[in-house]
Amino acid sequence: AHVAALRGHDVTLFEARDILGGQFNYAKVIPGKEEFFETIRYYINELEHLGVEIKLNTQVDKAMLSDGKFQHVVVATGVVPKSLEGKLEGADLPQVISYAELLSGEKSVGDTVAVIGAGGVGFDVSEYLTARHGQPLDELGPETLKDPSYRPEPQSVEEWREEWGVTSDMNYQTDGGLIKPEGITPIRQVYLMQRSKGRLGAGLNKTTGWVHRAHIKSHGVIQVSGVQYDKITNEGIWVTNDQGQSQLLRVDSVVVCAGQESVAELMPNVGDAPDAQYHLIGGAKLAAELDAKRAIRDGAEVAVQI
């Protein structure tokens, strides 16, 4: 919408929810990713400045698009979290929630949590659940997180030094200005689990992955690989470990981070002859690991082409 408006097109942006930003609204509450609040603010200001017509709380269907007489329709409807309902016994229990429900503030968790899926989203959720600085974001609720004027309290320099063992003594009386950090008392117990064997976080970014692995380790997250999820009960989640042994993890809540599915129902069916030219971009086109850079590039390239 931004690039198309810059190039002089008359643009209407439809959004089913009451806030713009999509997956950025989940990413922005992760410790260290607070700058995404500013990314959303920037784009909203740009769209308003360029005269883009923004229609929030609008669930679009094919008939609406046909009646709108648009020349081009860009389907950027993104992804939804994969559900385990029908695939895992007990996945429909109230203590089982998706990462989207957690990070939007719609639902909260207890003191012990099992995170299913150890990809980038699983690591982000584990960091979110164990962060100690500022006001716990999972206690704020959805309305606060939607408030365009709200900004989370970032970790202070003093807290960062204490967490990572960096001395504030600029005379460097210790080697490299480093000291052994004190042990961190976790604010809740988190189990981060994956089906595949081997190290968790193997697919994280090469230059920053070590930071995420170090964070969850220092915050007491128990990492479990090579497990089979058997069932979820009111007692917790039953798993079979890589030794073939069944065990119960007594947790209050289960957060599902088992991937995403594309939402592309607005694309024409084979054989249809719509008046507009349709373009599929971002997560709606490919539901791989959440990738803001790819999604933004897709949108910019399509806007340039039309």
Domain regions of the chain by residue span? 2-80+261-305, 84-143+183-258
pLDDT at residue 232, rounded to an integer: 98
Q: Domain 84-143+183-258 in CATH: superfamily?
A: FAD/NAD(P)-binding domain (3.50.50.60)
Rounded to two decimals, what is the model's pTM?
Answer: 0.88
Looking up tokens 């207890």 gives 110
* Cβ-based burial of 15 (10 A; exposed 0-12, middle 13-18, buried ≥19): middle
Which residues of the chain have a pLDDT value below 70?
Answer: 132-142, 145-146, 148-149
2-80+261-305: which CATH topology? Rossmann fold (3.40.50)
pLDDT at residue 270, rounded to an integer: 84
Average pLDDT score over the chain: 90
Q: Where are the alpha helices (DSSP H) in the chain?
A: 2-6, 24-27, 36-49, 62-67, 99-103, 120-130, 142-146, 157-164, 209-218, 282-285, 292-305
pLDDT at residue 255, rounded to an integer: 98
What residues have CB less than 8 Å from 228, skipping those under 6 apart? 195, 239, 240
Strand pairing class (189-193; 236-240): unpaired
pLDDT at residue 141, rounded to an integer: 66
